[in-house]
Amino acid sequence: MILIILAFIWGYRKSKATGRNPILWSVIDGTAFLGTQIVVGLIVGLGMGLGIAILHWPESIVDTYYWPVSIVSWLGGILCLWLVLKFLDRPLQTQPDFFQSPPPPPSSF
């Protein structure tokens, strides 16, 4: 719980320091961290459910692997958070030359 709050704070500070929209990137950071944990947990849970249904694994596998799955999803969230913060470390790119306005017409035109 503390880490999700820190994800929002770190995203806000890092994006503000690099000249990006701090509220948007704060939400992106927190959502990426929390979303990765949810998605990893759902994928592993779906795999366990299919293993129980199709491969006749014992139902106690869910209780047995609760903490390892939680740790893996937590580490996945931290990795995703680190990648987003690493992206925010990069400086903003200026617009390429082809986005600049064309030169004015010649005076003899």
Distance CA 79, CA 95 (A): 30
Distance CA 85, CA 23 (A): 14
Q: Is residue 49 classed exposed, middle or buried when 0-12, 13-18 and 19+ CB atoms within 10 A define those classes? A: middle
* Tokens matching residue 22: 């701090």
The 10s digit of each residue's pLDDT in 37-86 is 999 999 999 999 999 999 999 999 999 999 999 999 999 999 999 999 99
* Tokens matching residue 105: 């017409």
**Predicted pLDDT at 58:** 95
Q: Which domain holds residue 59?
A: 2-90
Whether 65 is in a domain gets the answer yes
Whether 102 is in a domain gets the answer no
Domain count, the chain: 1
Whether 79 is in a domain gets the answer yes
Position 45: which residue type? G
Is pLDDT above 80 for 102? no
The residue with greater pLDDT, 108 or 66, is 66
Whether 105 is in a domain gets the answer no
Residue among 75, 82, 108, 66 at smallest CA distance from 11:
82
Return mean pLDDT, the chain. 90
Position 46: which residue type? L
* Tokens matching residue 98: 């082809």
Q: What is the pTM (predicted TM-score) of this model? A: 0.77
